[in-house]
Amino acid sequence: MSERISFHKEIQNNKIKSFLLMISIVLILIILGYVIARILDPSYFFLIMVISIIFSLSYTLISYYNADKIALASVNARPASRVHHRNFVEAAENMALASGLPIPKLYVMESNQINAFASGRNPQNSVVCVTSGAIEKLSKQELEGVIAHEMSHIANYDIRFMTFTAIAIGMISIIAEFFLRSLWFSGGNRGRDGKSGAILIIVGIALSIIAPLLSNLVSLAISRKREFAADATGVKLTRYPPGLSSALKKIKHEQTNKEDKHKFPKAVAPLFISDPYKKKFRNLFSTHPDIDDRISRLERM
């Protein structure tokens, strides 16, 4: 018999792991910055840091404050109606009561595929959107499990957490790009002279290539940990693991045609409870954990 899992422990473990992964991104930023600062003139490096902070903060914060509007517009979602979407509205009200959160703004997008997403910078400015297929195909318990998962993202401030991650990754990418371009335009003569200087430049170039790739992989790992945490927090709200696990099983086995898949823009695909673009090779390069792993964990809670 498989070992039972405590949802409290699962929530705590995944939050700790995602926090440690976030620290690793900061460490990558510090190491990259230290090496480049050793190579470049301090005043020039300071200018790069200022520019990277301004660009990364500006782009990410604009997205942060408009994430819900962008996501809803991209999938042509419409406000949910208590008359036509009664099960959805009642499920959201029940989960709001269980979580102590305000009822989010509710939206529906037309799609036969079972899916849902949440967005918003805080519980007071949050939205939950489900597909019409989810409303039609899921039972009351399954729909509540899905809504509980999405409201868990809101309760855990996952949008805010991933925004901070995006800012750090943006800074890493901009710093690396500036450094590589500065070497290109200077013909590789910028920085220290001698053998030690040449080795330091080689290390700087290697880090500038590897750091953005590595930080993005870490970001994907954080996203997967936040999904596991949302599953466990959803169980905490419903106290009924079979609801969400049954919904995930239906998602796993449903067939999606190309026309329906095009309704999910790739830019917002990471927000959904299940990646609409199912890939053969998930693992390191996926925003979502393997769905079988998620189902297995839920069945052991």
Q: Is residue 2 part of a domain?
A: no
> In this structure, are 27 and 151 located in the same domain?
no
Cβ–Cβ under 8 Å, residues 154 and 105? no
237: CATH = 3.30.2010.10
pLDDT average, residue stretch 272-288: 75
* Residue carrying structure tokens 């301090």: 42
Q: Is residue 42 part of a domain?
A: yes
Q: Is the pTM higher than 0.85?
A: yes
> In this structure, are 59 and 82 located in the same domain?
no
Distance CA 8, CA 195 (A): 55
Amino acid at 261: K
| pLDDT 10s digits, 216-256 | 999 999 999 999 999 999 999 999 999 999 999 999 988 66
Q: Report how many domains make up the chain.
A: 2
> In this structure, are 87 and 198 located in the same domain?
no
> In this structure, are 194 and 289 located in the same domain?
no
Q: Decide if pLDDT at 194 tops 60.
A: no
Question: What is the residue range of 207's domain?
Answer: 7-65+160-214
Q: Is residue 1 part of a domain?
A: no
> In this structure, are 16 and 133 located in the same domain?
no
> Is residue 247 helix, strand or coil?
helix
> In this structure, are 78 and 94 located in the same domain?
yes
pLDDT above 70 as % of the chain: 90
Calculate the average pLDDT of the chain. 87
Active site residue 150: yes
> In this structure, are 168 and 261 located in the same domain?
no
Q: Which of 23, 28, 27, 40 is nearest to 192 (CA)?
A: 40
Q: Is residue 191 part of a domain?
A: yes
Q: Which of 194, 214, 234 is the last residue of a domain?
A: 214
> In this structure, are 32 and 108 located in the same domain?
no
> In this structure, are 137 and 261 located in the same domain?
yes
Q: Which of 10, 142, 150, 227 is catalytic?
A: 150
> In this structure, are 49 and 109 located in the same domain?
no
Element (H, E) at 212: helix 194-238
| pLDDT 10s digits, 36-57 | 888 887 777 788 788 888 888 8
> In this structure, are 151 and 232 located in the same domain?
yes
